[in-house]
Amino acid sequence: MHSTLTEHARCLWGDEFRPTPDCDGPHHEHRFVEELTFADADSIMAMMHELCPPPVNGYLPVWVRNLAYRLVLLQRPDEPALMREAALSLGLFGPEWDDLAAGLMRRADALEAG
């Protein structure tokens, strides 16, 4: 069993910056998704910052990054810096999310102005 969300992600997808730890357990993406779904925002952001600094780096699949940011924004809906970080990530991985990224930037600007 993994002691942190970061460790679980590192075992599944590796780490561009550190070696993948030896682990004797089976790895299934659905178990990771369950863990991610119920993780607190601090644990999710620790994983993102450790495995993806800056956001374009790292081996986490784009769908994991998008889901992670979505879950954190649901927990912390009024944090402009977090919105901008999520928008940057969305903007780096495909034009299909450009409108969402722009919307996050507008919300961040509105929160800071208001």
- Per-residue pLDDT reduced to its tens digit, 78-100: 999 999 999 999 998 889 999 99
pTM of this structure? 0.93
Mean pLDDT, the chain, rounded, equals: 92
Q: For residue 108, what are the domain limits?
A: 5-113
Does 25 score more than 80 pLDDT? no
C-alpha distance from residue 58 to each of 11, 20, 39, 54 (Å): 13, 13, 20, 8
- What are 106-109's contacts with CB under 8 Å, separation 24+? 107/80, 107/83, 108/80, 108/81, 108/83, 108/84, 109/80
**Total count of domains within the chain:** 1
Structure letter (DSSP) for residue 3: S
CA gyration radius, the chain: 15
